[in-house]
Amino acid sequence: MSKITIALETAVATVRANMPAEGQAQTARQRVIVDRAFAQIIKLIAPRIRHFIRQYGLVAHWDDAEQVCAIAVHRGIQAYDPEKAQFTTFVNWQIRGELQSLRFRLMTDQRPSAKKVEAVTVSLDAIGVGEDGEGQSIVASIEDEDALERTESGASDYLARQAMASLTDSYVDHLRNIGVERIRRKAQPKKAPRAEAGARRSVWRAGKAGLDPAELAELEERLEHNRRVVEGRLFETSAFDMSDDDSGVAKERVRQIAKRAAKTMGDLAGADPRFTMMAEYRQAMLAAPAAAH
């Protein structure tokens, strides 16, 4: 074997040895080794690639031809079996196949239908002149007519989700404040019943001034359930599963929670400047049935 053939076989073996096994991730060191070995392979067969590009008449599309040749080499490495042939022979057919496919795509300009409309195939990497006189690639000059609509729709959806999330947080914080205040009042000492005449003077019943951790935990559990109801039933931003308890009582309880949440969040939206737009929309929706009559 020639020195180039030996060098190619060594570089290909290096690439294959550093490819990760199925289901495993490639390490950074392996990627570096593979990149260097692949660059060495391309350098070794560069004269052959230039020869085939000229042979297939693709000099005018040199960049595209080089790219498909690199793809051919990559596929050749993956499919190569050292026991059946040398890599130099095997990769020749891979390169020829890719160049033939590229030539077939480019030669469509020569069909009568293409000539009739003066169609011309150009490389996507070709540089043209933009409206400002600066160089611009063909890809950059292609206008996506639906891009603005998709961008506006995506931005609208994002803002809506953020608004719903913020309103849900405000609602849960509102319920938490009410619940904590209720627990605090419950924990405050109460006066004992007034004693009968001649009895001892009234005294304050002993009690802890702090909040009961068990009651706080129970409150947070209820708040989390309410959050799931709001997100799943009102805003439909998450799934709400009632498979564990599908009784009519549970369904009615969820309906009542959703109903109270909708009213409370409507009041919160009207009082918070962040949700002014949502409050105005709610008022318009409430006024619509009246206007219809």
pLDDT, tens only, 76-95: 998 998 888 888 889 999 99
- Over 80: is that where the pLDDT of 151 sits? yes
Q: CA 178 to CA 57: how far, in whole Å?
A: 80
Q: What is the pLDDT of residues 56-83, one digit of tens each?
A: 888 988 999 999 999 999 999 989 988 8
Lowest-pLDDT range of 18-27, 203-212, 274-283: 203-212
Residue 18 corresponds to which amino acid? N
What local confidence, expressed as pLDDT, does residue 155 receive? 80
Q: Residue with structure tokens 């947070």?
A: 220
**Contact assessment for residue 44 and residue 11, using Cβ atoms and an 8 Å cutoff:** yes
What local confidence, expressed as pLDDT, does residue 33 receive? 93
Q: Which residue has the higher pLDDT, 198 or 23?
A: 23
CA nearest 93: which of 67, 64, 62, 69?
69
What local confidence, expressed as pLDDT, does residue 67 receive? 92
What local confidence, expressed as pLDDT, does residue 229 receive? 86
- Over 80: is that where the pLDDT of 239 sits? no
**Hey, is 135 helix, strand or coil?**
strand
What local confidence, expressed as pLDDT, does residue 84 receive? 87
Lowest-pLDDT range of 88-92, 161-165, 170-174: 161-165
Bridge partners (DSSP) of residue 137 are: 127
Residue 89 corresponds to which amino acid? T
Length in residues, the chain: 293
Provide, rounded to the nearest whole percent, the portion of the chain with pLDDT above 70. 68
Both tokens of 71, joined, read 């793809």
What local confidence, expressed as pLDDT, does residue 284 receive? 61
Q: CA 291 to CA 288: how far, in whole Å?
A: 5
Q: Residue with structure tokens 């390169």?
A: 95
pTM (whole model) above 0.75: no
> With bands split at pLDDT 50, 70 and 90, how would you rate the model's confidence at 232?
confident
Environment class of 263 (CB within 10 Å of its CB; exposed 0-12, middle 13-18, buried 19+): exposed
Both tokens of 73, joined, read 């080499």
Q: How many CB atoms lie within 10 A of CB 204?
A: 9
What local confidence, expressed as pLDDT, does residue 286 receive? 60
Average pLDDT, integer, range 130-152: 68
